[in-house]
Every structure is written in C-alpha cells, then in structure tokens.
C-alpha cells in the first residue's frame, strides 16, 4: 500500500507520515529532505541556488540513503529548498528516485507537496494535512526554541507565508490537494486525533 501525504510547511505532515509508516511497518520518505539535500549541496559548494544545470547535477547525484535530517532540517535550508524546487529539471531528477522508493515491494509512505498529484497519483490513500499559517508558525517557532535555537514568531510567520506563496504558485507540481485526498486540518486537531483519523482512513481502504 502506498500512502501519499501532502501539505504546507510545518503542517504536521512529517509527524503524521512517520507515525503511519511505523503503524503499517513500511518505509517512509520525507521528500522535502530530497529538495533540502540539493539546496544544501549547492550551498556547501558555494554554488548559486538558481542555476538549473548545477542544481540538476546535484539532484542526479543524490543518495536517498544518505539524507541527514539533523543537518537538513535547518530553517534556512527549507527556504533554499523551496527555491531549488521551482526548477523543472530538479523535480524530474528527484521524481525518478521518489517513484522508485514508492514502488518498492510492500509499499511505502511518502510525504511532500506533490505526492498525491504527481509522484504517486495512484496511491491507495492520499491525505492532505494542513493548518493555518499562524498555527504553523507558532509550532515552528516553538520547535526551534525547544532545540535551543533562536526564533522570532513574526519572522517565522513571514517565512511560512513566503514559502506557501512560492510552493503554491510555481508552474510545475505546485502544492495542491489531489482531488481524491482526505483533508486533515490540524489547526484545531491535535496530532494524536489527526493520527487516529488517518488510521481510520487507512483501515477503511485496507478492508476494501
Ligand atoms: O517539507 P519541507 O519543508 O522539508 O520542504 C522543503 C521545500 O521542498 C518546500 O518548501 C518545497 C519543496 N518540496 C517540494 O517542492 N515538493 C515536495 N514533494 C517536497 C518538498
């Protein structure tokens, strides 16, 4: 069974994806990390973020087994990832790796922005996890502060809005719920209740 989870930055989709993968006993790919890894490779090589040829090369060289969440989860790398993600050649290069991961025997859970619409349009279960920009900015700020970093809520909120704008309005594979996705708004639901709803949806599909 393939489970496709999409949603904007800091919506809770990553936690949801990890928990569902553990529940189902299948591997999980956070596709945001693949875009983050491309941005990180360019930044560490001192290369620009808007050169499509260099960015495509970094995407083709990516090793899915070597994605380091601790390094890649930095807020600035998320910003940079959203810039490289607008380039069609980067998306095509990463798409191959993402699809191969999705189609492994036994199934997988993938989360990102275009999993239900582009990467796995035939996924058995599609979830679109969202929350208001204010709730997402509050969660992201608290997360950074809890790790001992410094964050200003207003600045994080401005970044969340900028990222939504870029991810939603790009020409290729924009952030968008698939027509057959189940919407889970975590603005008012805690993660536990959202997870229980998702399990209910998965179990219903399994029983068919
Ligand atoms: O989910 P995240 O914050 O780690 O994603 C970082 C950026 O990567 C996001 O702003 C847009 C891009 N992305 C994408 O375009 N498509 C995906 N499937 C996943 C992420």
pLDDT, tens digit only, all 208 positions of the chain: 999 999 998 899 999 999 999 999 999 999 999 999 999 999 999 999 999 999 999 999 999 989 999 999 888 899 899 999 999 999 999 999 999 999 999 999 999 999 999 999 999 999 999 999 999 999 999 988 998 989 999 999 999 999 999 989 988 888 999 999 999 999 988 888 999 999 999 999 999 8
DSSP run (H or E) holding 199 = helix 191-207
Ligand 1 atom with the shortest distance to the CA of 98: 18
Ligand 1 atom with the shortest distance to the CA of 163: 10
- Tell me the C-alpha distance between 64 and 93, whole Å: 12
Q: Ligand 1 within 6 A of 112 CB?
A: yes
CB 112 within 8 A of CB 33: no
Residue whose CA lies nearest to ligand 1 atom number 9: 82
Please state whether beta strands 182-185 and 108-112 pair in parallel, antiparallel, or not at all (unpaired): unpaired
User: Residue with structure tokens 């599909």?
Assistant: 205
Report the separation in Å between the CA atom of 112 and the middle of ligand 1, taken as the mean of its atom positions: 6
The values of phi and psi at residue 36, to 5°, are -65, -40
The maximal CA–CA distance of the chain, rounded, in angstroms, is 52
Residue whose CA lies nearest to ligand 1 atom number 4: 32
Residue whose CA lies nearest to ligand 1 atom number 12: 82
Q: Ligand 1 within 6 A of 78 CB?
A: yes
Report the separation in Å between the CA atom of 138 and the middle of ligand 1, taken as the mean of its atom positions: 19
Domains of the chain: 1-27+107-203 (3.40.50.300), 31-103 (no CATH)
Neighbours of 107 (CB within 10 A): 17
CB 86 within 8 A of CB 9: no
Q: Is the pTM of this model over 0.85?
A: yes
Distant-in-sequence, close-in-space partners of 25: CB < 8 Å, separation ≥ 6: none
Residue whose CA lies nearest to ligand 1 atom number 18: 112
* CA dist 159 → 11, 73, 79, 123 (Å): 14, 15, 8, 31
Q: Ligand 1 within 6 A of 130 CB?
A: no
Residue whose CA lies nearest to ligand 1 atom number 13: 32
């Amino acid at each position: 069974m393939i489970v496709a989870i999409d949603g904007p930055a800091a919506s809770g989709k990553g936690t949801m994806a990890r928990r569902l993968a553990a529940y189902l006993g299948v591997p999980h790919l956070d596709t945001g990390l693949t875009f983050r890894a491309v941005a990180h490779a360019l930044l560490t090589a001192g290369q620009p973020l808007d050169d499509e040829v260099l960015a495509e090369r970094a995407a083709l060289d990516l090793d899915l087994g070597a994605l380091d969440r601790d390094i890649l989860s930095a807020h600035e790398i998320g910003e940079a990832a959203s810039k490289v993600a607008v380039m069609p050649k980067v998306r095509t290069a990463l798409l191959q790796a993402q699809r191969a991961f999705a189609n492994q025997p036994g199934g997988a859970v993938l989360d990102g922005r275009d999993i239900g619409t582009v990467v796995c349009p035939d996924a058995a279960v599609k979830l679109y996890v969202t929350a208001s920009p204010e709730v997402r900015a509050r969660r992201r700020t608290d997360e950074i502060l809890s790790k001992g970093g410094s964050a200003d809520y207003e600045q994080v909120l401005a970044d969340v809005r900028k990222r939504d704008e870029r991810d939603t309005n790009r020409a290729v594979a924009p952030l968008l719920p698939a027509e057959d996705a189940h919407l889970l708004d975590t603005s008012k639901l805690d993660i536990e209740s959202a997870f229980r709803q998702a399990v209910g949806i998965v179990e219903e599909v399994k029983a068919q």
